Amino acid sequence: MSGSQSQQFHNADPFASLRGFSASTQQPGKVKIAPPSPQTVRARKTRRSPELVQAIHGLDSQINPIEMVRWLRWINENYTLSDCGLLLGLFSHCYLGVRPFDGQPFLDHRLDLTQEIIEHYTGVDSVPTGFEVARPLARNEAYAYIEVYTDGTVIPIYPDGRPG
């Protein structure tokens, strides 16, 4: 690593992404992602609707697969129309209890809107790339869920829809 790269890495705020700003962790050879536009930044600062927050929170309790797909599509539609940018997915605290085959407690889960899937994780499971920063936030029940964007921005959302 050259001196300027080393200096840039050490000056990057390691907690910036936890506050809704992407940290500069660009590695050599990786594709550089453009920062969000001012319009996108404004949209990300707006309160999420109570219906959206409730739908996301209710996914753990939904057992009807047809209703689940309907909810996922509705959530995806809301984010597509929001001008918040391209969403990698949502991450949140999980209330399912324990995994049946080994008794490990589920701690958090990921909602991938592009594939319309929900994946639940225990403490020993690793999460997909991009969601690592959201995981400690999701364990805090003060947040309803965490938005993870493709540009690296991570935004915790409070139960009343306010972005953190």
Output 21 or 162, whichever has higher pLDDT: 162
Residue 12, pLDDT above cutoff 60: no
Q: Which residue is it, tokens 């753990």?
A: 60
Task: Note the helical H segments in the chain.
Answer: 3-11, 38-44, 50-57, 65-81, 134-138
Domain boundaries, the chain: 3-157
Which comes out higher in pLDDT, residue 145 or 16? 145
Alpha carbons 127 and 11: distance in angstroms, whole number: 27
- pLDDT at residue 109 is higher than 90: no
Q: Cα separation of 78 and 57, whole Å?
A: 15
pTM listed for this prediction: 0.73
Phi-psi region of 83 (alpha: psi -120 to 50; beta: other; left: phi over 0): left
| pLDDT at 2 > cutoff 60 | no
Q: What are phi and psi of 141, to 5 degrees?
A: -70, 0
Distance CA 80, CA 55 (A): 16
